[in-house]
Amino acid sequence: MRLTLDTVIDNPDLPLIEPALALVRPSTIEVFDMLSPSGITGALSLGYAGTFNSIGAVLEADKPLNTNVIERDDMTFIVCWNMERASGQAVNALGNLSPATAPFTGLRLGTGTNNAASFLVASGNTSPTNFGVTPATHTGAWTVQAYQASNSMVKRITHGGSETMTAVTSRVKSSSPIYLNGLPFASPITAGTTGTIGMFCAYNEIIPTAECVDLMDKIASIMGSRGVAVP
């Protein structure tokens, strides 16, 4: 016999059935634990033709992941992955920047052919074409980092809490969804790489740095339970 009780159990020491629920906050657009296409909140699902394993989404250079997240005025992304460095090839890690030539719309985290990494937003102008932060190293090993974009700044936050920020004076968003590991439409960088994505979170908020670090700590703990050490 099953009993249903109309009550609330308020015990913060009880473990969450789904650890990634600890990453959900009022501004959450979606949290993907990358063990399946489903988002944790149920609001969005990934469009991905590749596979998933017990660690995360297994990346293929020619199969971008469509997060179905649409760019907002204030955004915080937290990523946890191990993307291989594609020597001599530019790679789009995260973004929706288009078209192939300026003026651009959207944003991008990516590396150039020399492996120099940057996170930028489009200005909508031909000069300057964008505003960005560099370096924004995010390939070659397991890492967890936060990236933020607004109409006034772009910022990178490391797991240790270090910040790199650039002021933005002009920004044009894209109506295209944000992709991970490549792009299926015209852009200066469309290629992906190999590796694994363990977690991707998108928030409609500029989250304070200390709170970003706390979220990254939670992600590192989740990845530790999967047998992956994230510094």
Q: Measured between alpha carbons, how far is residue 131 from residues 77, 86, 106, 126, 155 in Å?
A: 17, 24, 11, 12, 10
Neighbouring residues of 12: CB distance < 8 A, sequence distance ≥ 6: none
**CA proximity to 115, closest of 147, 138, 144, 97:** 138
- In a domain? residue 10: no
Residue 231 lies in a domain: no
- Domain assignment present for residue 167? The answer is yes
Record the tokens describing residue 125, joined without a space.
Answer: 């102008």
Residue pLDDT, tens place only, 148-172: 999 999 999 999 999 999 999 999 9
How would you label 40-69 residue by residue, b for 16+ Cβ within 10 Å and e otherwise? Answer: beeebebebebebeebbbbbbbebbbbbbb
Identify whether 9 is part of a domain. Answer: no
Instruction: State the DSSP H helix or E strand holding residue 212, giving kind and residue range, or none if neither.
Output: helix 209-225
What's the CATH code of the domain at 153?
2.60.120.200
* Residue 11 belongs to a domain: no
pLDDT band at 86 (very low <50, low <70, confident <90, very high): confident
Residues 212-222 have a mean pLDDT of: 98
State the pLDDT at residue 87. Answer: 85
105-132 pLDDT tens trace: 999 999 999 889 999 999 999 999 999 9
Q: Residue 2: pLDDT band by 50, 70, 90 thresholds? A: very low
Tell the burial category of 111 from Cβ atoms under 10 Å away from its Cβ (0-12, 13-18, 19+): buried
Residue 203 has pLDDT above 80, yes or no: yes
2 domain-assigned: no
Segment 17-46 shows an average pLDDT of: 96
Is residue 45 situated within a structural domain?
A: yes
Among 192, 194, 189, residue whose Cα is nearest residue 180: 192
Residue 20 lies in a domain: no
Task: Give the domain extent around 188.
Answer: 26-225
Tally of domains in the chain = 1
